[in-house]
């Protein structure tokens, strides 16, 4: 009966955890031999035979036949009288092989063996899961939501392994319930308290990159290369792509006919706006494309400070900056330049005054904040509402009120 209990233990784990045959055989033999060492002091004269297919095992002991009364070690030797009880043909000097029953070890030893076997297989399985997902870092996996907590979501893969999606790695508009299917990318795998911890992410740029690989065959095949991805999860993303084949339009291939390819990605990312941009080594042209849909008049680059001064018509400034400043922020991250936008009017307004003329009344860092949102003249500031100025800049309400008062007084 105890024999069957042990067989059930390792058969169950082999069936459920997919441990390979050779590894299972090694673990089982190690566990049995450790029991033999503990009881007899040696395992060298024992043969352990395991048949996983039949769910059975045998332990055989080899001992030398010695004359009665000359026995020195009962584990290594057997008297002639005892040997003849097994087979009457045995003679002194020959080797006797007899089976050792598991029940001979005692119930406590059997329970210890069973526990040891269970622990070894569990540790082996944990290492297998760790190594499996270590190789999957950067790959998309699919899981089913098992438990939703305040700070994270527990999901299970097809084999029942636990995967964690922290709140910080979720798109702000993500909403999942138990039983829902989640797609995310594996970003980190570590051992915590001897248990594998697999961390997923839906906010990583790698997740967006893998989605493009799934939806755009040309990227998967290497005909189109993703040069860079920047994103504000759930809001907006910019993807720079390049094709080494002149016959392929990388942007058109990524978007697809009537947006068929990119629509699936946008839905997965909870309607995140995705701008696909044709990559170029020409920095000015790249920044111009990154600030799309705004139309640029001219760009001045400072290579030392990595700043770009972009000049636009007044009506294009808001397009360049984008809602909440997202467009200009992402364009700067994509190009690697800090971008300042300036208004450039076709006809100079003689009555307007550049904000640099107010350095005696307004501190220079405040003027820099105004320039950063495309306001380089007093009238361009006054064209914006008080609420817009507070929202677009990092200035205090009192500071904005002072600025508006000073500029308004200038034209009274």
pLDDT higher than 50, residue 348: no
Compute the distance between CA of residue 187 and CA of residue 138 in angstroms, rounded to an integer: 6
Residues of the chain with CATH 3.30.1480.10: 2-132
Whole-model pTM: value is: 0.67
Residues of the chain with CATH 2.40.50.140: 136-203
Q: How confident is the model at residue 92 (pLDDT cuts 50, 70, 90)?
A: confident
pLDDT in tens, 369-394: 888 777 878 888 888 888 888 887 87
- DSSP code of 395? -
User: Could you give the residue ranges of the DSSP H alpha helices within 43-164?
Assistant: 80-86, 107-134
Q: What is the CA radius of gyration of the chain?
A: 37
- In CATH, what is the architecture of 136-203? Beta Barrel (2.40)
pLDDT in tens, 112-121: 777 877 787 7
pLDDT higher than 50, residue 315: yes
Compute the distance between CA of residue 23 and CA of residue 28 in angstroms, rounded to an integer: 9
Give me the sheet containing 236-243, strands edge to edge: 224-232, 236-243, 273-278
Compute the distance between CA of residue 211 and CA of residue 274 in angstroms, rounded to an integer: 12
Fold of 2-132: N Utilization Substance Protein A; Chain:P; domain 4 (3.30.1480)
Which pLDDT belongs to residue 18? 57
* Cα dist from 10 to 7, 32, 49, 57, 128, whole Å: 6, 13, 15, 11, 16
pLDDT in tens, 177-208: 999 999 999 999 999 888 999 999 999 999 99
């Amino acid at each position: 009966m105890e024999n069957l209990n042990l067989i059930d233990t390792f058969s169950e784990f082999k069936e459920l955890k997919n441990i390979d045959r050779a590894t299972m055989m090694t673990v089982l033999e190690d566990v049995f031999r450790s029991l033999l060492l503990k009881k007899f002091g040696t395992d060298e004269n024992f043969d352990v035979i395991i048949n996983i297919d039949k769910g059975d095992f045998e332990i055989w002991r080899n001992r030398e036949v010695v004359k009665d009364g000359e026995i020195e070690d009962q584990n290594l030797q057997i008297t002639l009288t005892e040997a003849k009880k097994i087979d009457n043909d045995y003679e002194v000097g020959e080797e006797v092989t007899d089976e050792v029953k598991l029940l001979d070890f005692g119930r406590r030893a059997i329970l210890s063996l069973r526990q040891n076997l269970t622990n070894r297989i569990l540790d082996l399985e944990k290492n297998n899961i760790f190594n499996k997902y270590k190789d999957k870092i950067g790959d998309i996996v699919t899981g089913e939501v098992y438990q939703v907590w305040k700070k994270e979501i527990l999901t299970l893969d097809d084999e029942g392994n636990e995967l964690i999606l922290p709140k910080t790695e979720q798109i702000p508009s993500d909403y999942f319930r138990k039983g829902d299917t989640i797609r995310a990318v594996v970003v980190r795998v570590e051992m915590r308290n001897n248990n594998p911890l697999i961390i997923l992410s839906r906010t990583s740029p790698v997740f967006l990159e893998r989605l493009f690989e799934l939806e755009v065959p040309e990227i998967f095949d290497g005909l189109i290369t993703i040069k860079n991805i920047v994103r504000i999860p759930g809001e907006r993303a910019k993807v720079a792509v390049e094709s080494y084949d002149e016959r392929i339009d990388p942007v058109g291939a990524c978007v697809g006919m009537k947006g068929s390819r990119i629509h699936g990605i946008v839905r997965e990312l909870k309607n995140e706006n995705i701008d696909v941009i044709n990559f170029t080594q020409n920095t000015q042209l790249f920044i111009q494309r990154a600030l799309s849909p705004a139309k640029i008049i001219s760009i001045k680059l400072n290579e030392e400070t990595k700043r770009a001064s972009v000049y636009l018509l007044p009506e294009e400034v808001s397009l360049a900056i984008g809602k909440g400043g997202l467009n200009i922020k992402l364009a700067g991250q994509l190009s690697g330049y800090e971008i300042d936008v300036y208004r450039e009017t076709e006809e100079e307004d003689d009555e307007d005054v550049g904000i640099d003329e107010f350095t005696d009344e307004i501190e220079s860092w405040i003027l820099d904040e105004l320039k950063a949102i495309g306001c380089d003249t007093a009238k361009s500031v006054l064209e914006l509402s008080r609420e817009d100025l507070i929202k677009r800049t990092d200035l205090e309400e009192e500071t904005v009120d002072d600025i508006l008062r000073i500029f308004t007084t200038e034209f009274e």
